[in-house]
Every structure is written in C-alpha cells, then in structure tokens.
Amino acid sequence: MGDGLERLLEGRRLSPAQRRIARYLDGHLAEAIFLSSVELADRAGVSQPSVTRFAMALGFAGYPELRQALRPLVVGGDDGAADPHAPAGAGAGGRAAPRANGLQAAIDAEVGNLRAVREGLADPSAITELGAALAGCEPLPVLGLRVSSGLATTFAYYARRIHPDVRLLVHGGSELADGLHAARRAGAAWLLAVVLPRYPAEAVRALADARGIGLRTAVITDRRDVPFDADVVLAAPVGERLVFDSHAAPLALAMVLVEAMADAAPLRTQARLEEYERMTDRAGVFVC
C-alpha cells in the first residue's frame, strides 16, 4: 500500500469487510477519493454501513472526513507524494522496480511475519523448556476453537507421531469442559491452546477454567499482549493483508514446538517414528 494509506491503517484490527475496502483503496485511490460512500461500497463489494464503520475504525467521524484525509495522498501534500501508484523508488530519469500488487504485498507481509518468528528464536530457551514440559505431559490436551481449530488439529496430528496421548479439543460447550476435566483426572499438567484473533470468548473462558482445575496453560497466539492470561505465551503475527487472516507464522511456530517436544524425548521419538513408518508401509498409506 502507499505509505500514507499504510500509516492510516497501521495498528488497526480490521474486519473482513473493512479489509476489502482497504484493498480497493490501495488499488484505486485516485478514483476512490471522488466516490460517495455508496459508490465506494458498491466498488468494494460491501455495504454502505461497512464504509462508515471503516472510516470510524481509522479514527474519523465518518466517510467524508476519511475521504478528505485521503485526497492529499493523490493530489499532493503528503510527503510530496503526487501519485500513490507511482513505482516505488522512481527517481528523475531512473527506471524503478515495479510496485508489488496487492496479493504480492500480502505474501511480503507474511515473509515479514516469518522473519519475526525467526528473530524471536534467537534465544530458544522458552521453546525448548516448554517442549520438554509438553513432552512429559500425559495426556496432553490441545485446544483450538473456531478458526484456531485448524492449527490445533495440525499440531495434534504431528504431536501424536511422537507423543503417546494427545487429546484434541475443538468443540465447545459441555464437551470441552468434559475434555479438560478428563485430561486433568488422567494426569495432565498442561493445556496447549491455539487462540488466534478474534480470540473466541469460549476459548478464553476455557483457559481460565483450565487454570482453575490446576492445569498450566501455554498459548500460541498472534501477540504477547493478549487480553487473557496464560502461563506461557508464544507469539507469531498473523497476516492481515487479505480478507481473512493467514496463519503462516503461527503454523511455523507450532511446528517448532513439535520439534522441541521431539528433541526433549529423543529415544521415545525415534521408537514412535520407526513404529509409524512400519505401520504406514504395511498399510500402504502413502503412494510414495
């Protein structure tokens, strides 16, 4: 996105509809500053109230104030930029590299998220210590509700290859409460939870309930300053450039945690992986 529009959006948590508006503005800003809220809604494929809520989410009283703030980004007056669509790095008489399109920019942002995870592992002690604790926790309950269920399921799938008793909890209500209590009665000391934005209220309550029955809690989420309590927080930013969040960095962090669990119990890991390979060979599970 252009620098000025990027600054307006920085630090804002947008809904899927609001992201569609942001993407439209990024690609059509010179046109959008002359559109009414109804016209912008039609072009972006959202409702007119969504445009108003988008403007208010950026701190404006309404869409007219947002449109007024956007005009200098096109006609000049914002750091001297005359055209937010000019190629990045263009100079007098110089040939600039082509500007990334919106989809490429979304992937660029994910690359940055992965770099943030990498930098956070400069001191791997937090991951290795948690990996050792989870490796020694039998059974190991793994929680993930709503959008977080996919990552929780992936983590549990791989963790079961190296851990004897992983219990996946992806359904709420009384079934979730029963699962937590059953795991605790069976000897569990930890709960690993995936709690990604927008932080399901039921998942947050489950974390509190788990701590209430004596479980320690570790959470894979998008940032450290989350609005709920956990004993260990593993943070990996989510991609917010598309209509829906993308979770490349949290997935990478989850796989690093599985690796730490494997390293914490090397003999068991080796034995279980060899057993798994023999089973899949006998059953013809894989083509190659």
What are the pLDDT digits (tens) for 217-241? 999 999 999 999 999 999 999 998 8
pLDDT greater at residue 86 or residue 27: 27
Find the mean pLDDT for residues 188-214. 97
Residue 212: CA count within 13 A, CB half-sphere: 9
pLDDT at 61 > cutoff 70: yes
Q: Which pair of tokens denotes residue 100?
A: 């990334």
Give the C-alpha separation, 158 to 20, whole Å. Answer: 35
Tell me, what's the pLDDT at 111? 93
Query: What are the Cα distances from residue 176, in Å, to 182, 184, 203, 204, 210?
Result: 10, 12, 10, 12, 10
Res. 130: pLDDT tops 60: yes
Mean pLDDT of the chain: 88
d(CA 184, CA 175): 14
Per-residue pLDDT, averaged over 253-264, amounts to 96
Asked if the model's pLDDT at residue 205 lies above 80, the reply is yes
Tell me the sheet residues that pair with 239: 246
Q: What pLDDT sits at residue 274? A: 93
pLDDT of residue 90 exceeding 80:
no
* pLDDT tens sequence across 37-48: 999 989 888 889
Residue 284: CB atoms within 10 Å: 7
Assign 103 a pLDDT band (cuts: 50, 70, 90).
confident
- Provide the edge-to-edge strand list for the sheet that holds 140-144: 166-169, 140-144, 190-194, 216-221, 232-235
- % the chain with pLDDT above 70: 90
Residue 285 has pLDDT above 50, yes or no: yes
Residue 258 predicted with pLDDT over 50:
yes
Residue 123: its pLDDT value, please? 95
pLDDT at 280 over 60: yes
Q: What is the number of other CB atoms lying within 10 angstroms of the CB of residue 242?
A: 18
pLDDT-derived band at 2 (thresholds 50, 70, 90) equals low
Is 51 a residue whose pLDDT tops 50? Answer: yes
